[in-house]
Structure 1
Amino acid sequence: MDSSTDEIAYEFHPYFRAYKNGRVERFFGADRVPTSEFGSSDGVSSKDVVISAETAVSARIFLPSETTQQQPQIKKLPVLVYFHGGGLFMGSPFCSTYHNYVSSVVSRANIIAISVNYRLAPENHVPAAYEDCWSALKWVTSHFQFGVGTDPWLNNYADFDRVFLAGDSAGANIVHNMSVQADTDHEGLNGVKLSGICLIHPYFGRKNGGVDKFWVFVCPDTSGFDDPRINPAISKRLSRLGCSRVLVCLAEKDNLRERGMFYCESLRESGWVGDLEIMETQSEDHVFHLFKPNSDKALALMDQLVSFINQYKVSSL
């Protein structure tokens, strides 16, 4: 028997394990919640769409059920593009954790949301995840001109004057990198400008330098702390972040808290002209809101995100 089948190359207990022979076991994000295109108990409809058959990029779209009963173009809704966390090696918009969370945000904020399913390491190392998320963002904004896009929900109900990005942990890292790219490749988004971004418990490099094993695992050819994807402070493009409003959510007991503060400091020192909001939850750990979604503090965090989206000036229709 080949003993290599049982040799562990990488483990994130109790959520993930990769073996030296290439086999991968994911114990988080592997379940799949079915969609409910005609509505569910929380008043939110959902469906899955394929964005790229070639790379298998897909997404789950969420829409308040009552919206589909209205005539198209009567009321346009803010757009939220969500990138799930999981270190870039686990997680899924289809699993119960993220399906339930994004559905709850849609219900509370009365928005349309697109939760992106991007390729994961180690089967697909970085930059695959970033490429997939940019492809998804371009697909979403391809609906900017009414009737041009392939999805009727986005064609009929999305307000592209109010487009937001949000994500947690590694997903928050993606949010930042997509916003940076949005500034340098504005035409790639069909002229759509981002209204704001929300980074929840973001994953970046350590303030005192260096990167951890998670980043090296998903990006073996990284240059380390000199890689702007993991260290935004060295990026000359940070001052041109492609939005005017940023919300960063931190948790007091999160071991990534210092990295989140480092991001905020770097953004302020970059010369970026915009509004930065920081919310810190006391006595809580990393992504606590996903695992204790009905707790008072998790609901307060969600309310902050909802307020961040809805306080944006509504465009005339």
Structure 2
Amino acid sequence: MECTLVAPPLQVNNSEIAHEFRFFRAYKDGRVEVFYQTQKLPPSTDPNTGVQSKDVTISTEPNHLTARVFLPKIQDPTQKLPILYYIHGGGFCAESAFSPIFHNHLMTLVAEANVIAVSIEYGLFPERPLPGCYEDSWAGLQWIASHANGNGPDPWLNQHGDFSRFFMGGDSGGANVSNYLAVRVASEGLAMKILGIVMVHPFFGGMEDDAMWMYMNPSNTGPKDPKLKPPLEDLAKLACDRILIFFAEKDHLREVGGAYYEDLKNSGFKGSVEVVEHEGEAHDFHLFNPTTEKAADLVKKFAAFLNRK
């Protein structure tokens, strides 16, 4: 009787790492392990300031997209308020418009500035690879613009929003997305004007995290992808009148943020650009230590920019 030897099946080591980045690691079997857990808070009313928040549906197709809207205590129902469209950071794969740090930050900022804020809950990698968050944020911007004539789906924006004083802003990756939106508005138009953009500790290309961003975005065009590293011709046409950039001296993104600022100045951008730097502070210090003097300073300067006429 003949016996045929059969080789055992090849054993796959599911723990073998293919890529390790700042926010996650990717395994060779396709799994992705994000290092940061995202917590979420329900909307609420702040008993001290009277700021209210609620969650709204932006769209149901092609994916379910939501946002959190913040309304300050209304002192005069006839007074219209500036509007801030806020895009949170988190490496495009963590955090949320509903997370404690961003919920609390927006509550504080809305109370200080007396503005309405809309914070988009964009899809996160790996469930929604890039450029998903850019498209979600564009959909959120279109949703806000649908209220410009006072007949949109949300009564807070219809009744209290001043669409001649509309701003965008965000921190880290959210600042990056804000830049993309302003470039896209310049090309495609919008039912309202963007008066200003606030970028807090912005992420742009030119560092080790470029590889992470490109991994998350399978359709990327390389290190000079215009979403990652905006070219001068895009910066020149940003659709806003003024920009405020916050830097933190010890931020790992300080160098690429500074390079973006220099590019912006050299691009021919027609608006004004302001910079505020907090010495001795690290990335997003105001979110993780919101009670410090420098965190309060950031909020006050952010609010002053939104209220300047």
TM beyond 0.5? yes
Corresponding letter in the other structure for 2:173? A
* CA shift digits 1:281-304 (9 cap, x unpaired): 101111111101111111111111
Q: How does 1:234-273 map to 2 (within 5 A)?
A: 234-273=231-270
Per-residue CA deviations over 1:34-78 (Å, capped at 9, x if unaligned) read 112x554442100001101121211000001x32x754xx01110
1:1-317 residue pairs with structure 2 within 5 A? 5-11=14-20, 16=24, 18-26=26-34, 28=36, 30-36=38-44, 39-54=46-61, 55-64=63-72, 66-67=73-74, 71=77, 74-146=78-150, 148-186=151-189, 189-190=190-191, 192-206=192-206, 212-232=210-230, 234-311=231-308, 313=309
Return the alpha-carbon distance in structure 2 between the equivalents of residues 261 and 195 of structure 1. 22
Question: Residue type of the partner of 1:274?
Answer: G
Distance, in Å, in 2 between the alignment partners of 1:248 and 1:63 is 25
Q: Is the 8 A contact 1:228 1:235 kept in 2?
A: no
CA contact (8 A) 2:20 2:26 kept: yes
- Aligned partners of 1:211 and 1:224 also within 8 Å: no
The Cα shift of 1:24 comes to 4.8
Q: CA deviation at 1:225?
A: 2.3
Kindly state the Cα deviation for residue 5 of structure 1 after the two structures are TM-superposed: 4.8
SS of alignment partner, residue 224 of structure 1? coil
Residues in 1 aligned to 2:116 and 2:36: alpha-carbon distance in whole angstroms: 26
Q: Please give the alpha-carbon distance, in whole angstroms, between the structure 2 residues aligned to 1:268 and 1:98.
A: 30
Shift of residue 221, structure 1, vs aligned partner: 2.9
* Per-residue deviation, 1:16: 4.5
Structure 1 residues 29 and 149: alpha-carbon distance in aligned structure 2, compared to 1, 3 A threshold? farther
| Structure 1: tracts of 5 or more residues without a match | none
The structure whose Rg is larger is 2
What secondary structure is seen at the aligned counterpart in 2 of 1:226?
A: coil
- Identical amino acids, percent of aligned pairs: 44
Instruction: Deviation per CA, 1:134-164: give whole Å up to 9, x if none.
Output: 0100100100011x10011111111100011
- 1:28 CA drift (Å): 3.7
- In the aligned structure 1, how far is the partner of 2:82 from the partner of 2:12? 53
Q: Distance in 2 between matches of 1:40 and 1:29?
A: 28
CA distance, structure 1, for counterparts of residue 131 and residue 13 of structure 2: 28
Any runs of at least 4 consecutive aligned residues in structure 1 with deviations exceeding 3 A, and if so which? 2-13, 15-29, 38-42
5+ long unaligned stretches in structure 2: 1-10
What is the deviation of 1:4?
A: 5.2
Change (3 A) 1:118 1:293: same
Distance 2:111 2:13 in 1: 48
Residues in 1 aligned to 2:242 and 2:38: alpha-carbon distance in whole angstroms: 34
Secondary structure in 2 aligned to 1:82? strand
SS at match of 1:237: helix
Q: TM-score, normalised by structure 2?
A: 0.90
* 1:172 maps to amino acid: A
Shift of 1:261: 1.0
1:216-249 CA-to-partner distances (Å, cap 9, x unmatched) read 22213322222111111x2522211100100011
* Count of matched residue pairs: 299
TM-score, with length taken from structure 1: 0.88
Q: Is the contact made by 1:122 and 1:217 (CA closer than 8 Å) also made in structure 2?
A: no
- SS of aligned partner of 1:161: strand
| 1:5 to 1:210, Cα distance in 2 relative to 1, 3 A | closer
Deviations 1:106-161 (A, max 9, x none): 01111100000111112222211111100100100100011x10011111111100
Question: C-alpha root-mean-square deviation of aligned residues, in Å?
Answer: 2.2
Partner amino acid, structure 2, of 1:183:
A
User: Closer, same or farther in 2 for the Cα pair 1:29/1:153, shift >3 Å?
Assistant: farther
Task: Tell me the residue number matched to 2:7.
Answer: none
Give, in whole Å, the separation in 2 of the partners of 1:39 and 1:300: 21
Q: 1:125 to 1:40 in 2, by over 3 A?
A: same
